[in-house]
């Protein structure tokens, strides 16, 4: 680093010992815990203090002294600036080891759970180009790097890419991304070049002005391709010209749509999409099931690994032909429909009404007559009256958001007492917290981590619970 060493803020020769939440590393200096950004376990570094509290401190790597044997060269030119793929500089096998440790630590420290059969983490079959969906943001105030600062003239400020961490108003102009297969990169680069050539306005987050706001690209395993533009200002002629040119440049696009979003936030699930060309949905296929995916539909972004995950849920659930199954936080009903092929009946509950509509449509598409989907707040829907009307489940599947389950939901489950529970979680900490509330009644039998997002600290975990035998 070229800057002079900040006084009293640099700690020298610090060994990074372990991994913590959000992918930060842990170090100890004089019995105080330091959470360090930008390193990997085993690194010997100088660190720069950013926040110094009584019980802990936060810092970032200031200077590398001795790299960890698990450190590797990042493959993306945007690494360290972009907020994604923060573990690119860490050997993949080490990533899997640390993700497993993350789950075990949560179960032991938060859940006080020491029982259960632990299975090795399931690695992702792809570590690059594994996503089927990416969303990019337009900005007329892109992030400026050192090369921009060296320019004699004022650089172009338009950007199309991802938000800079902790600088939501700044966008990294992405040259190449390794998350989604082609033509994702080509479409993004073409879009920016066209917009600049024809002087289309890029969005300004603070002023809430500009025509082009977001670009969403979906790809499917079958080769279908959806492109969605979110615009903040409606200029029909300019928009039509751009979309016509895009269709000519990328004839493989099967669904080209737009949404007018003039809200102060980026949530667009409640807004209506307009089809410019092609279909209003693309089709995803898993085993013998088909799923209609629209511009606002939720679908697992790592489809290959999602299939592995659902197969694991199916195996652990041990569904019998007459079983009644509840699928909580069902989303668009993908897991529910997987299980409905074996079960007597499946009841799905989901907060988002649009997702429930997708679930119903997909169930009809797959000829599944033994499913029923409800929309509403889980803590309010799942009550004694609901169970009386729909039956006590033999098997319960729950796949809540990162916040985990509401205590009222846990209480309702304990009252129902299904024989088996399969708990799917994207946050081992909240999963362990919820399981701790259930271990007097249920025994944790199987624990299966799954890597859905390589080069990130995120890990999916599946736990099988069975009623204790008194």
310 — pLDDT class (breaks 50, 70, 90): very high
Considering the domain boundaries, does residue 278 fall inside one? yes
- Residue among 66, 81, 62 nearest 1 (CA): 62
Task: List C-alpha distances in Å: 128 to 88, 137, 298, 454.
Answer: 10, 21, 21, 8
Please tell me whether residues 327 and 240 are part of one structural domain.
no
Please tell me whether residues 275 and 384 are part of one structural domain.
no
- CATH number assigned to the domain comprising residue 210: 2.40.50.1070
- What pLDDT score does 150 carry? 58
Considering the domain boundaries, does residue 81 fall inside one? no
Decide: residue 101, CB within 10 A, 0-12 exposed, 13-18 middle, 19+ buried.
Answer: middle
Please tell me whether residues 311 and 330 are part of one structural domain.
yes
Please tell me whether residues 227 and 371 are part of one structural domain.
no
Considering the domain boundaries, does residue 77 fall inside one? no
- What pLDDT score does 20 carry? 84
- What pLDDT score does 169 carry? 79
- Are 169 and 205 in contact by the 8 Å Cβ rule? The answer is yes
Distance between CA atoms of 317 and 420, rounded to whole angstroms?
7
Considering the domain boundaries, does residue 324 fall inside one? yes
Considering the domain boundaries, does residue 394 fall inside one? yes
Averaged confidence pLDDT in the chain: 93
Q: Is 426 annotated as catalytic?
A: yes
Q: Which residues contact 258 (CB under 8 A, 6 or more apart)?
A: 228, 229, 230, 231, 239, 243, 273, 274, 276
- Decide: helix, strand or coil at residue 35: strand
- What pLDDT score does 1 carry? 44
Please tell me whether residues 309 and 341 are part of one structural domain.
yes
Distance between CA atoms of 295 and 297, rounded to whole angstroms?
6
22 — pLDDT class (breaks 50, 70, 90): confident
- What pLDDT score does 316 carry? 97
- What pLDDT score does 424 carry? 98
Residues 6-31 have a mean pLDDT of 86
Considering the domain boundaries, does residue 224 fall inside one? yes
Distance between CA atoms of 401 and 358, rounded to whole angstroms?
18
DSSP class of residue 203?
Answer: P
Structural domain containing residue 224: 133-286
| 172-195: pLDDT as tens digits | 999 999 999 999 999 999 999 999
Q: Which of 227, 255, 286 corresponds to the end of one domain?
A: 286
Helix (H) or strand (E) holding 255: strand 255-260
Please tell me whether residues 352 and 418 are part of one structural domain.
yes
376 — pLDDT class (breaks 50, 70, 90): very high
Considering the domain boundaries, does residue 355 fall inside one? yes
Residues 281-288 have a mean pLDDT of 93
| 197-217: pLDDT as tens digits | 999 999 998 899 999 999 999
Please tell me whether residues 455 and 307 are part of one structural domain.
yes
Is pLDDT of 138 > 70?
yes
Decide: residue 402, CB within 10 A, 0-12 exposed, 13-18 middle, 19+ buried.
Answer: exposed
Please tell me whether residues 344 and 447 are part of one structural domain.
yes
Is pLDDT of 124 > 90?
yes
Distance between CA atoms of 192 and 194, rounded to whole angstroms?
5
Q: Which of 228, 258, 286 corresponds to the end of one domain?
A: 286
- Are 83 and 77 in contact by the 8 Å Cβ rule? The answer is no
- What pLDDT score does 405 carry? 97
Residues 17-21 have a mean pLDDT of 86
- Decide: helix, strand or coil at residue 14: strand
Please tell me whether residues 220 and 106 are part of one structural domain.
no
DSSP class of residue 130?
Answer: -
DSSP string, 272-306: --EEEEE-S-EEEEETTEEEEE-TT----SSHHHH
Please tell me whether residues 306 and 455 are part of one structural domain.
yes
Please tell me whether residues 172 and 52 are part of one structural domain.
no
Rg (CA), the chain: 24
Q: How many domains does the chain have?
A: 3
User: Exactly one of 25, 82, 85, 426 is catalytic; which is it?
Assistant: 426
Please tell me whether residues 324 and 410 are part of one structural domain.
yes
DSSP string, 345-398: EEEEEES-HHHHHHHHHHHHHTT--SEEEEES-HHHHSSHHHHHHH---SEEEE
- Decide: helix, strand or coil at residue 199: coil
Percent of the chain with pLDDT over 90: 85
- CATH number assigned to the domain comprising residue 65: 2.40.50.140
Lowest mean pLDDT among 80-84, 276-280, 400-404: 80-84
- What pLDDT score does 222 carry? 85
Is pLDDT of 93 > 70?
yes
- Are 86 and 457 in contact by the 8 Å Cβ rule? The answer is yes
Other beta carbons within 10 Å of 55? 6
Q: Which residues contact 52 (CB under 8 A, 6 or more apart)?
A: 58
Q: Which residues contact 369 (CB under 8 A, 6 or more apart)?
A: none
- End-to-end Cα separation, the chain, in angstroms: 64
Residues 326-335 have a mean pLDDT of 95
**Residue 259, φ and ψ in degrees, nearest 5:** -135, 130
Considering the domain boundaries, does residue 297 fall inside one? no
Residues 42-65 have a mean pLDDT of 94
Percent of the chain with pLDDT over 70: 96
7 — pLDDT class (breaks 50, 70, 90): low
- CATH number assigned to the domain comprising residue 362: 3.40.50.150
Q: Which residues of 221-258 are buried (b: 16+ CB within 10 A; e: fewer)?
A: eeebbbbbbbbbbeeeebbeebbeebbeeeeebbbbbb
């Amino acid at each position: 680093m070229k800057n002079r060493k900040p006084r009293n803020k640099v700690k020298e020769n610090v060994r990074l010992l372990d991994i913590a939440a959000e992918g930060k590393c842990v170090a100890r200096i004089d019995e105080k815990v330091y959470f360090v950004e930008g390193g990997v376990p085993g690194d010997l570094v100088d660190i720069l203090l950013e926040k110094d509290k009584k019980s802990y401190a936060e810092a970032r790597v200031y200077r590398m002294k001795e790299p960890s044997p698990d450190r590797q060269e990042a493959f993306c030119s945007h690494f360290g600036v972009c907020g994604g793929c923060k573990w690119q500089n860490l050997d993949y096998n080490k990533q899997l080891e640390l993700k497993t440790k993350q789950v075990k630590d949560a179960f032991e420290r938060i859940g006080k759970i020491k029982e259960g059969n632990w299975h090795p983490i399931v690695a992702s079959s792809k570590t690059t180009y594994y996503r089927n969906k990416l969303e990019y943001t337009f900005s007329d105030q892109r992030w400026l790097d050192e090369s921009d600062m060296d320019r004699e003239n004022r650089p172009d400020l338009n950007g199309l890419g991802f938000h800079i961490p902790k600088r939501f108003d700044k966008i990294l102009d992405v040259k190449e991304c390794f998350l989604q297969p082609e033509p994702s990169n080509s479409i993004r680069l073409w879009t920016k070049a066209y917009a600049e050539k024809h002087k289309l306005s890029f969005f300004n987050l603070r002023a809430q002005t500009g025509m082009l706001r977001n670009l969403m690209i979906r790809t499917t395993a079958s080769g279908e391709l959806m492109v969605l533009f979110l615009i903040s200002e409606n200029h029909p002629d300019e928009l039509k010209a751009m979309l016509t040119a895009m269709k000519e440049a990328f004839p493989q696009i099967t669904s080209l749509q737009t949404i007018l979003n003039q809200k102060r936030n980026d949530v667009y699930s409640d807004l209506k999409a307009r089809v410019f060309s092609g279909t209003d949905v693309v089709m995803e296929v898993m085993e013998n099931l088909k799923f209609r995916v629209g511009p606002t539909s939720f679908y697992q972004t790592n489809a290959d690994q999602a299939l592995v995950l659902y197969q694991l849920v199916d195996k652990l659930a041990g569904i019998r032909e007459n079983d009644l199954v509840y699928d909580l936080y069902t989303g668009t009903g993908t897991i529910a429909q997987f299980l409905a092929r074996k079960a007597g009946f499946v009841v799905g509950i989901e907060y988002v009404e649009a997702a429930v509509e997708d679930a119903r449509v997909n169930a009809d598409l797959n000829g599944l007559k033994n499913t029923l989907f409800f929309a509403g707040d889980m803590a309010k829907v799942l009550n004694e009256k609901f169970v009386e009307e729909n039956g006590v489940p033999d098997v319960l599947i729950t796949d809540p958001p990162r916040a985990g389950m509401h205590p009222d939901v846990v209480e309702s489950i304990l009252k129902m007492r299904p024989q088996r529970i399969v708990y799917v979680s994207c946050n081992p900490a909240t999963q362990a917290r919820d399981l701790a509330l259930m271990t007097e009644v249920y025994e944790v039998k199987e624990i299966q981590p799954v890597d859905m997002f390589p080069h990130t600290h995120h890990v999916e975990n599946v736990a099988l619970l069975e009623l204790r035998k008194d």
